Amino acid sequence: MAVYLHEEDLPEGALAPGIVAVDTETMGLITPRDRLCVVQISDGRGDEHLVRFQVDSAYAAPNLKAVLADPARLKLFHFARFDLAAIEHYLGITAAPVFCTKIASKLVRTYTDRHGLKDLVRELLGKEISKQQQSSDWGGAVLSDAQQEYAASDVRHLHAMHTILVERLAREKRTEMAQACFDFLPVRARLDLAGWAERDIFSHE
């Protein structure tokens, strides 16, 4: 198992075919203001790849974009809504199809209100991950070993959790509902980017 750091793009052929786990690190939570710094990605076979973008990046990244936009590859996220908005705004592509472990968790783990990645990994896989670097400076000239490990851990467990959550969605007969939510996520991200992040357009108000 290894973590690889790349500058500006993913090397060609770095990933095996099939499902990939994806996450992003940005300078903050307001997507148009807070630039995309890192995209981390894994094919679930033990290695994680971190693609770092510099301050004045053109975000060309043709190899990374090809993977993210590939309609034949399922992309696994935890809280996909945020990551999809960052990817669309900075990389200019729609990353689909999507499976969001946070949405799946909310649909099947109705016995708890704890749906964070750390909680999910602990319950489903019996493992612990650290969130210590979550609020660190991702735009610096150097990513520390701790930052790289944190970023890698955000995609390391998504394949295993996806398998479990798919089974639970089927067991609770909520697969179709979940899929409809996943299919809507790229549109939800565009609504966020267009200014409707805090307004529920489905509500009566």
Query: Looking at the domain assignment, is residue 201 inside a domain?
Result: no
In a domain, 179, yes or no: yes
The reply to whether 75 falls in a domain is yes
User: Which domain, by its residues, includes 73?
Assistant: 3-196
Average pLDDT over residues 62-75: 98
Please tell me the total count of domains within the chain.
1
- Quote the pLDDT of residue 82: 98
pLDDT in tens, 102-152: 999 999 999 999 999 999 999 999 999 876 666 789 999 899 999 999 999
Q: Considering the chain, what percentage of its residues have pLDDT values greater than 70?
A: 98
CATH number of the domain to which 60 belongs: 3.30.420.10
Percentage above 90 pLDDT, the chain: 93
Find all residues with CB under 8 Å of 21, minimum gap 6, and list them: 41, 42, 43, 44, 75, 76, 77, 155, 156, 158, 159, 162
pTM for the whole structure = 0.95
Distance separating alpha carbons of residues 7 and 21, to the nearest angstrom: 19
41-60 core/surface letters (b: 16 or more CB in 10 A; e: else)? bbbbeebbbbbbbeeeeebe
On whether residue 203 sits in a domain, the answer given is no
154 part of a folded domain: yes
**Is the residue at 202 inside a domain?**
no
